[in-house]
Amino acid sequence: MGALLRSLAAATSVAVSLCALAADGIEVGKPSAVRNLVPAQQLERQAAQEYGQMLRQAADKRALAADDHPQVKRLRAIAGRIVPFVSRWNPRAGQWQWEVNLIGAKQINAFCMPGGKIAFYTGILETLKLSDDEVAVVMGHEVAHALREHARERIAKSELTHLGASLLGQFVGGGKYAGAFDVGGQLLSLKFSRDDESEADLVGLDLAARAGFDPRAGVSLWRKMAAANRGAPPQWLSTHPSGKNRIQEIEKHLPAVMPLYEKARKG
């Protein structure tokens, strides 16, 4: 699976990178320079270790879906269409060892760790009865967190709050402390800011649309999320903007991504 996704990404990485941040599709600013305080490769190695440990624990509980499970095949097929477009947002991502797995649990949750380690829980698929388009929007959102290196930025900013603004000034002035921070901590429990979540929504829509999935599924997805939120809030919503505001933002940006979707369908 990893080799297949890597080959798909590598085959398109050059062409996609040439149009990075072009006028078509979603536009967002450059990633925060503060993230450079955390070594990317070190963070990705830690993510791979945590991901592997999670898979082993799930397997021990017989909760790790087999490679031939229909939903695993479905998730990996969707990822196989999204991954070729990742280099537009992160040139290094075409070389990541992408993985997609399914965990048997009632949690309404999914994630993508640094380095392209994707996991879905059966709860999000079964409780919300997600269509392929909706799965692609969720996956695009989670992949966007990894591509925009939100975890790397969160860790760096957390460390800076302890060390003070003077260090930030020295870093911005000359990069003196680049790579100085340790990446210790549990990546699986890392929480993103609302700005991160909003950015991931938009980048995720762009990825899904380029892969030929209907970005309007973002609206139906968040309506389902809102309905699920009437009881205990799903874990996936922990730091996310409210469903109403989210739907408004998605609808606002649909004109930027619908042409990508139509082009992908014709192609």
The residues carrying an active-site annotation are 142
Cβ–Cβ < 8 Å for 119, 111: yes
* Other residues' Cβ atoms within 10 Å of the Cβ of residue 255: 8
Residue given tokens 């139509």 in the structure block: 262
Cβ–Cβ < 8 Å for 257, 209: yes
Cβ–Cβ < 8 Å for 228, 234: yes
What is the rounded CA–CA span in Å between residue 234 and residue 121?
Answer: 12
Closest CA to 7 of 139, 98, 111: 98
Backbone angles phi, psi at 24, to 5 degrees: -85, 150
HSE (CB half, 13 Å, CA atoms) of 193?
A: 12
Q: Which two tokens stand for residue 219?
A: 């609206």
Q: Which strands form 117-121's sheet, in the order they lie side by side?
A: 99-103, 117-121, 110-113
What is the rounded CA–CA span in Å between residue 142 and residue 117?
Answer: 10
What is the rounded CA–CA span in Å between residue 197 and residue 177?
Answer: 27
